Amino acid sequence: MLCFRLFPVPGSGLVLVCLVLGALRSYALELTLQDSGKATCLYAKWQMTFRVRYETTNKTYKTQTISDLGAVTYNGSCGDDQSGPRIAVQFRSGFSWIANFTKAASTYSIDSISFSYNTSDNTTFPDAKDKGMHTVYQPLAINIPLNELFRCNSLSTLEDNDVVQHYWDVHVQAFVQNGTVSKMEFLCDKDKTSTVVPTVHTTVPSPTTTPTPRKPEAGTYSVNNGNGTCLLATMGLQLNITQDKVASVININPNTTHSTGSCQSHTALLRLNSSTIKYLDFVFAVKNENRFYLKEVNVSMNLVNGSVFSIANNNLSYWDAPLGSSYMCNKEQTVSVSGAFQINTFDLRVQPFNVIEGKYSTAQECSLDDDTILIPIIVGAGLSGLIIVIVIAYLIGRRKSYAGYQTL
């Protein structure tokens, strides 16, 4: 018998441990498989998104990001003498994801992953030329000691032609022994922290102060489709990263940063990359059919200590402006992606939709740039000061008038 643990989630009824964790609305899946004796045989928790590039009927190419899986159904097996355990997830219209596991004498393996998508789904793939099912198979052979939990919080990417798969916050154990998930963890290479040899000083160094980072240089980035420029962005970017309790500030150099992306009717992507930044994604979306906003930021980059820093958040709400206009904020503004990652923007102007002739449309300014509110404040302060002066003069005048009379 195969059993799944069901948990009530507010606003979602009973779901198969399909929980939204933290700020990430893209699926955070947690799955427990049980055998006929109701003993846990496989445990998995992971997050994943997909990017699929496809050809349209007008011979152009579009890229679709699949992060919201929609209604999800599940299947799986603890395995038997003929085959190993497997996880199977079905979502959207004809989409599926399968992970297979195998076992050796002292190890088990994440043997392979297959992802199938349906370009006949017009909602996900509008104007797709080649309609039908497509499957991407990825052999992995990740070997893990038996009775240890595999953990990989860092971002892992699988690429195969037109499909890019992203995985992070992965925790999985197949062939669970005695029905109890192990507390011993086997880390992926990206999660293994490098050992730093401490420097021994023969004298006590004088205290130093961390200099204030300079303002980053503003760069201009654009995305083109078959009809010309479809996205414009001008901004200075400063990244604030905290990892292992160490904070760092990084200014992006626009002269060594490249931009790519894609434009669709209701979403637009600006991707920046450089020698150290694998990708820094800004994903924009349309809401209420008349406004746009920054919905998602994803980043993966190499830090100076050799580690990889990866964060994703698709539940943001910044840079809101009407469609047909641009958003502008010259003063410093902070986009808080997570507790460990913030982006400071300077001299910002962005238009992800309805760009005409490669030029910005009329800008909606942020509240930080709006100086018109200072006028009533100054006038009000001036009037208040004048009233105070009049009251004080009146009180002094009355006191002097009383001093002219003597008591009989």
pLDDT digits (tens, 9 = 90+) for 7-48: 333 333 323 333 333 333 345 688 899 988 999 999 998 888
Task: Please say if the pLDDT value at position 352 is more than 50.
Answer: yes
Kindly indicate the confidence band of residue 326, based on its pLDDT and cuts at 50, 70 and 90: very high
Q: 259: helix, coil or strand?
A: strand
Q: For 178-307, where are the E strands, in sequence order?
A: 185-187, 219-225, 228-243, 246-251, 258-263, 267-273, 277-287, 291-302
Q: 400: helix, coil or strand?
A: helix
Measured CA to CA, the distance from residue 66 to residue 28 in angstroms comes to 14
Task: Give this prediction's pTM.
Answer: 0.48
Kindly indicate the confidence band of residue 103, based on its pLDDT and cuts at 50, 70 and 90: very high
Give burial (CB, 10 Å; 0-12/13-18/19+) of 369.
Answer: middle
Angle at the Cα of 156 from the Cα atoms of 154 and 159, rounded to 5 degrees: 165
Task: Please say if the pLDDT value at position 147 is more than 90.
Answer: yes
Q: What phi and psi values does residue 401 have, to the nearest 5 degrees? A: -70, -35
pLDDT tens by residue, 121-131: 998 899 999 99
CB neighbourhood size of 288 (10 A): 6
Kindly indicate the confidence band of residue 114, based on its pLDDT and cuts at 50, 70 and 90: very high
Measured CA to CA, the distance from residue 45 to residue 264 in angstroms comes to 31
